[in-house]
């Protein structure tokens, strides 16, 4: 951290940043993405190291953080539970003290959110949430940027969430609260968002619906996620039955705005939470959404390590 910079920040939940910080970040993403597309070298993180700790599987998160850090001139250390002491019960506080003396930034994908909070509380360097059971803020950052890039401001718009009240849904709700849009949520009974956990300041940003069709009516963006998130595999058979009617299909998309977008954080299961003709159809922006993980996380790492540029 440069002398004179404000206090170190972590990015563990969407609500860790204010609306005004997101406005700054989205502007930086635009610049950083444009430079990348123009093959312009931009290496503000030379000699900086990112440690990535994965206790769950990943494709997009790993590739986007690793490629992003190298593109910005830095380097990466990749750890998993299987090849480090993480899987052998070293206290997380000790791991945080040690790792954060050796690197400049840490990204963690793990199970309980409490674990990343304990790591952050003992870390000398910023910690980024690469997904916990409760939140996935880097993904929502990419989803929001994708919406803004294609349709402009998301303030005042309606986002329909169809499916599990999971880490993605929780994070969408925090985003709706902070950025001023409405989240329509339809989940099967027993899989609702835990409002106490998410902690919104404006309850009007959430509208719940029994019917997933009703949730999609008038939406500017329809989005969903797997029926069974990582860590919940033992519930797979029960969930398959409970979620059978929560499949985003063309009928749901027709109830949304004519120019509504479809997003999915991926990996997707065609024929379960989304019909193939929706995810592979003209309203789907899932490949831009996945690519934007790279660009938003580069802006995020720059912000956490260097503060505001210019």
Interface residue list for ligand CP (CB under 6 A): 58-61, 131, 139, 265-266
Is 109 a known active-site residue? yes
Residue placing its CB nearer to ligand NVA in the complex, 184 or 239: 239
Q: Given candidates 265, 300, 301, 304, which one binds ligand NVA under the rule CB under 6 A?
A: 265
Residue placing its CB nearer to ligand NVA in the complex, 166 or 187: 166
132 touches, from ligand CP, ligand NVA, none (C-beta below 5 to 8 Å by class) = none
Is 136 a known active-site residue? yes
Catalytic residue among 139, 174, 257, 297: 139
Handedness of CA 203, 204, 210, 215 (dihedral sign): negative
Residues from 171 through 200 that contact ligand NVA (CB under 6 A): none
Is 113 a known active-site residue? no
Is 265 a known active-site residue? yes
Looking at beta carbons, which residue is closest to ligand NVA?
229
CB of 153 to ligand CP, least distance (A): 24
What is the distance between the alpha carbons of residues 45 and 23, in angstroms, rounded to a whole number? Answer: 22
Other Cβ atoms closer than 10 A to 291: 16
167 touches ligand NVA by CB under 6 A:
yes
Provide the annotated active-site residues: 109, 136, 139, 225, 265, 293
Q: By CB under 6 A, name the binding residues for ligand NVA.
A: 131, 136, 166-168, 225-226, 229-230, 265
């Amino acid at each position: 951290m440069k002398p004179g910079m404000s206090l170190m920040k972590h990015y563990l939940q969407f609500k860790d940043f204010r609306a005004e910080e997101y406005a700054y970040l989205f502007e930086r993403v635009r610049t950083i993405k444009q430079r990348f597309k123009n093959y312009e070298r931009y290496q503000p993180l030379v000699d900086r190291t990112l440690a990535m700790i994965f206790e769950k599987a990943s494709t997009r998160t790993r590739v986007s953080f690793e490629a992003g850090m190298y593109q910005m001139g830095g380097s990466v250390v990749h750890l998993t539970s299987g090849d480090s002491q993480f899987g052998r019960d070293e206290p997380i506080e000790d791991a945080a003290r040690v790792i954060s003396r050796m690197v400049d930034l840490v990204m963690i994908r793990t199970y309980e959110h409490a674990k990343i909070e304990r790591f952050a509380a003992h870390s000398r360097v910023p910690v980024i949430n690469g997904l916990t059971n409760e939140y996935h803020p880097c993904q929502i950052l990419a989803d929001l940027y994708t919406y803004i890039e294609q349709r402009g401001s998301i303030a005042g718009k309606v986002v329909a969430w169809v499916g599990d009240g999971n880490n993605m849904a929780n994070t969408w709700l925090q985003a709706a609260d902070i950025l001023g849009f409405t989240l329509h949520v339809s989940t099967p009974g027993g899989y609702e968002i835990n409002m106490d956990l998410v902690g919104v300041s404006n309850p009007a940003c959430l509208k719940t619906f029994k019917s997933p069709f009703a949730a999609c009516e008038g939406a500017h963006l329809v989005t969903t996620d797997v029926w069974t998130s990582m860590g919940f595999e033992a519930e797979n058979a029960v969930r398959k039955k409970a979620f059978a009617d929560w499949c985003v299909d063309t009928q749901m998309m027709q109830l949304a705005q004519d120019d509504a977008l479809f997003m999915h954080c991926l990996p997707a299961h065609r024929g379960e939470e989304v019909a193939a003709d929706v995810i592979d159809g003209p309203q789907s922006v899932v490949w831009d959404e996945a690519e934007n993980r790279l660009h938003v996380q580069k802006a995020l790492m720059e912000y956490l390590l260097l503060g505001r540029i210019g």
